Every structure is written in C-alpha cells, then in structure tokens.
Structure 1
Amino acid sequence: MTRVLFIGQTPETVDFSDPALPPGFDAEKIRAGIAIGMSKLRERGWQADECMISPDDAGRATLEKQLASTNYDCVVIGGGMRLPPKGLVMFEIVVNLVHKAAPGAAIAFNTRPEDTAEAAARWVRG
C-alpha cells in the first residue's frame, strides 16, 4: 500500500500577522483544509499520516520520530512550512530531515492543504 506523510506547521503556532501569508487565513481554515487534503489521500486508497510540527526544536523532534516510525513513498511538505520568508530555516531543517530519514521517499509540495493528494500523485502511482 502506498504510504504518504503530510508535514505542516501546527496552525496555532502560525504568525497570521505575517504579510507573506494570504489574507484571511486562520488556524480553523488551515485545519479544515488539511482535513480535506487527508481525506483525498485516503480516497486514493493510500495510507495517509499527518505530522503537524511547531517551528522549533520540539517540532524537529516530532518530525524525526514520525519519519523513524515507518517508510514513506512520498512526503508532502505544506505551504505553511515554506512560504513565509522568516520560516526558511525551519523549511530547510524539514527538507534535510526528510532527505536523511526517508531517502527512498519522493518529496512533494502542495499549494494549499486541499491539494495535498494531487501533490503526492505527481510522484507516486497506485
């Protein structure tokens, strides 16, 4: 069975005042979008895991633990991890952790939480 991991920033830790973020975003809207994205992954018959992390060492540890728990065919890194410029270092940490801990997994990027399945589908078949 195809196994996909979605990595995103815990919505409650997002600085919604950052002008780099789309206006009108809030934690509730992000969580709703993630739920849709995860549902679409499962509709494809894939095992879908979600790993929401804080932008700090605790988030890094959470991701390391998740990546060590199983082998993934694809890891989708959410837009909230890479869009705000002040989050660049955390984004680099995430990409490097995935590269090291899941070397056989494709890495994909969504444009919004709802298109996570489409991002994964570019790299996995099944």
Structure 2
Amino acid sequence: MIANVEGMPDVLLIGFAPDTIPGFPPGAVAAQLEEGSRRFADLGMAEEQCLIGYGDPDAAATVVEHLKRKPYDAVVVGGGIRKPAEVLELFQTVVNLVHRHQPQAVIAFNSGPTDSADWALKALEQQRA
C-alpha cells in the first residue's frame, strides 16, 4: 500500500457531479457524498473526489487530470457511472484510464455515495491477502 504522508491510504473517488445527474435532486446527492467523505475519515483514509459532469464531452480528460496528480492506493468508480446503460462507454473508458494511469491502485465499485469507503477498504484488504 502506498499511503500518504500521514500513513493513511489515498483514495480517489470518481463520480458524477450532483448538479448534473438527470432525475436526481442535487442537494440529496451532495449530502450523501458528504456522508461518504465522513466515512472515509472514520476509516482512516484520505479521499479526493473527481466529480465529472453527466454527459460532459471532456469527462475523460478530467479523469486523467485527477489520475495524474499523485499515486493512489485505491480508485472507487461510482455507481452512477457504472449502472445506467447509456453511460456504459464512459464506465469502460474510466476503468481503462485507471488501469493505465494508476496500475498500482486497486479498483473498487460502490453501490452509492455513502458506501465508497467501505468498498475501497474491502478492495485494499483483498489486495493484501
């Protein structure tokens, strides 16, 4: 595990910006992201968010920019990117970008904004086994 200066695992969370998700109330999604961030802190992990716009043609470039910032121990790809069929191509692109730019990082998938830290921890533990 790489871990940052404080010894905490570094995790990048890739997901949609709450105010760009069609059919979801941005305030509720933002509140869930905040709850998820508290969970990262509770588990002793440093979290950075890469929030991209739903339908943003520059989403891949934004993801690459974040992936190049520093080495991460884990990258969580949010459920919003993984679940709807209409963003399957983006999901595939994101996974391949993570693989290319952060080959040492484990890749985790969440079921919602509040359990990202739990899935990151699970993936990190599996890597150690």
Return the offset for 1:8.
Answer: 0.4
**Any stretches of 5+ residues in structure 2 without a counterpart?**
1-6
Cα RMSD (Å): 1.2
Return the offset for 1:7.
Answer: 0.6
Show CA shifts across 1:14-55 (max 9, x none): 221xxxxxxxx3211111111111111112221110110123
Residue equivalent to 1:7: 14
The residue correspondences of 1:38-117 to structure 2 (distance < 5 A) are 38-54=37-53, 55-117=55-117
Q: TM-score, with normalisation over the residues of structure 2?
A: 0.85
Question: Is contact 1:30-1:113 (8 Å) kept?
Answer: yes
Amino acid at match of 1:33: Q
2:124 maps to 1:124: yes
Q: Using CA pairs below 8 Å that are at least 6 residues apart, which structure has the higher relative contact order?
A: 1
Residue equivalent to 2:4: none
Moved over 6 A (4+): none
